[in-house]
Chain A
């Protein structure tokens, strides 16, 4: 187990797209353990994505269960996650381990359906809403080389500046 170094902006590697995980082996499980230790070591992050520690594979850890009154699937390790359905949108404030001391408002879908594998390669489907849906969209963005700062909008004028998601 080890706490990994978190890449921070303006590190260009954060803008890189990550690759599909093919091997569900011990190396993957070891990495997930390190990634979780890294998430817990920093400021209360509800999620972390592999590229944030310089591993460019489609792996995300998510856990919003510590937050009161929040619908949640508990602690999730999502491998090759894919959002297959979006609905609604809402604005919310986000920050990121890779962008210290900055928060901004981002529009996200409020309800999603997600398909992902677990660390053993089993496929699962999840219906997510609200905070958990927002968190997973934030993390999956990392896998595509996007940061929340790429999506920040001004409350006053930019609300409809760009489409939120293209599927």
Chain B
């Protein structure tokens, strides 16, 4: 099982996208690996690991009719990663603050300075139109101590952004 491709797909959300796309891939003899599929705004987005002996051109050609019919943008990247390259997060960072431009850059720059590797980031805007609240949840790995990571956010906390850092414990049982 090698020859993995990373398939990226975006289109206006509607029922049936996943079913149609994966049926085509199955008919081509492809295997599916890790995937992230989520609705963002009114779009449905897919990032999906696909393997099989098919060329990039064959994959795109086979998906073209579905893409046309369901108005999907499709992109394919060869991936040398394959499966079973999971990294375990050891920290979770929860960020909350009145929505303003630059929160994400501020937080993630600090994390980058601490050698923090983001493995997963999800964010949402809550609150109402007049008072939007930005919420971000990050899981990742860093070799620095919990105290060092917490301290690195003290300046940002004084500017009204709440940042909570907690260890992620993976229980194996």
Contacts and interface: CB of A to CB of B under 8 A. Distances in A.
Interface of A: 43-49, 67, 92-97, 101-103, 131, 134-135, 138-139, 148, 155-156
A95 B122 contact: no
Contacts of B86: 101-103
B35 interface: no
Contacts of B172: 43-46, 94-97
B173 A93 contact: no
For the complex of A and B, 8 pairs with smallest distance between CB atoms: A47-B173, A138-B173, A95-B172, A45-B172, A94-B171, A93-B170, A103-B170, A101-B84
Contacts of A148: 173
27 contacts: A44-B172, A45-B172, A47-B173, A49-B173, A67-B169, A92-B169, A93-B169, A93-B170, A94-B170, A94-B171, A94-B173, A95-B170, A95-B171, A95-B173, A97-B172, A97-B173, A101-B84, A101-B86, A102-B86, A103-B86, A103-B170, A131-B169, A131-B171, A135-B171, A135-B173, A155-B122, A156-B38
Q: Chain A binding site: helix, strand, loop or mixed by DSSP?
A: mixed
B88 interface: yes
A44 B88 CA distance: 14
Contacts of B126: none
